[in-house]
Amino acid sequence: MAFKILVVDDEPDVELLIKQKFRRKIRDGEFEFEFARNGEEALEKMNSDHAIDIVMSDINMPVMDGLTLLTRISSLDRIVRTVIVSAYGDMQNIRIAMNRGAYDFLTKPIDFEDFETTVQKTIQEIKGIREGHQVRLKLTALESELDVASQIQQSMLPRTFPPFPDRTEFDIYAQMTAARSVGGDFYDFFMIDSSRLGIVIGDVSGKGVPASIFMAVTRTLLRATAMQGTSAAECVEYVNRILFRQTDSPMFVTIFYAILDASTGEVDYCNAGHHQPWVFSPTGDIRKGDEGVNLFAGMFEGIRYTGSKLQLAPGEGLFLYTDGVTEAFDKDGEMFESDRLAEAIQARRDAPAYEIVNHVLRQVKQFSGTAPQSDDVTAMAIRYLGSTD
């Protein structure tokens, strides 16, 4: 497509000279010239033809001079570059023109080799601006899509607390903050039947959109499988098998899935490569589970997953978390690590679940300070309050 150049000059010979000097480029469709005798006529042409890319204007003209034209062009909402043409000795006006936004200048008498070089340079400038504008438009569209994706992802996670207002046997709260617009961490909880509560937290390898898609698939698959009432180990084993068969991605996911029997406090759980939970009590020290860690899910077929059990006394609970908590960095590159997490949980071990989670996340944020969040941060606390039967 030809670049359209508007030449503004009151000398009648200019049009003839330009058409003669650039006849081949005009014929080949590289350049297209329009001509105006003064600034007012030039503005009329620009208002009627938005395809004009470059304006090459003399300074001294009747009706409207080049400096006034330049000011008017600068107020237009469009991509156009202006090159001022004036006598070599008129440097004061040339300087004024450059201060008013002229892209470049030429001196009279016009050297047409310099003229063409200036035009080519201006064309490259315009191309760069247009490419940058397109990139910005694409980024804006992508940001909008990511905002929608983030809203969808957040809507998949339980966000209403307390989630089961009529249940007095347990207290549960969770929160996830993605490192990017969308992330690979997830949590979920759901009643399997009248007495059993399913609890899950997971962390997909990687970040961003691919991880968020894998996360959505895993979360949906696990919940659907869990609702069939299988044991924790059987559920995770089935999820691993389907993930491996249905995805070609090299991604994997760590999962901690537990089933709390609200009538007894017994917890049946299966850990697929995830952090073991902290067990906390309102009166004693917290302790960390150290049994039954299996391989992460989604990478290998045929893995047999084993389950474990633990018993919660009334008042005791579990704190579940992802790497983003213990591997949060401060500005010096130091990690939050497990000891700080244990201290934070211990400090609120007798508080409601939401206060435990929020206190831990505040401690992580305070520790990180101005350092950017490097990973998704997810935490969940559940306290067994005892059966009402």
- Give me the pLDDT at residue 388, please: 74
- Give me the pLDDT at residue 290, please: 66
- Give me the pLDDT at residue 28, please: 83
Distance CA 188, CA 194 (A): 17
- Give me the pLDDT at residue 141, please: 61
**Which residues does residue 108 pair with via DSSP β-bridges, in sequence order?**
87
Cβ–Cβ < 8 Å for 288, 279: yes
Give the pTM. Answer: 0.67
The residues, any chain, with a CB within 8 Å of residue 336's CB and separated by 6 or more, are 325, 326, 327, 328, 329, 330, 363, 364, 367, 368
- Each residue's pLDDT expressed in tens, for the chain with a length of 389 residues: 677 888 888 887 888 888 888 888 888 888 888 888 888 888 888 888 888 888 888 888 888 888 888 888 887 777 788 888 887 667 788 888 888 888 888 878 878 888 888 888 888 888 887 777 777 777 666 666 556 555 666 677 888 999 999 999 999 999 998 877 677 889 999 999 999 999 999 998 877 777 888 888 899 899 999 999 899 999 999 999 999 987 777 889 999 999 999 999 999 999 999 999 999 999 888 998 766 788 999 989 889 999 999 999 999 999 999 999 999 999 999 999 999 999 999 999 999 999 999 999 999 999 999 998 888 899 999 999 998 76
- Give me the pLDDT at residue 172, please: 97
How much is the CA Rg of the chain, to the nearest whole Å? 34
The full set of domains in the chain, from first to last, is 3-134 (3.40.50.2300), 157-384 (3.60.40.10)
Distance CA 137, CA 134 (A): 5
- Give me the pLDDT at residue 71, please: 84
Distance CA 108, CA 94 (A): 12
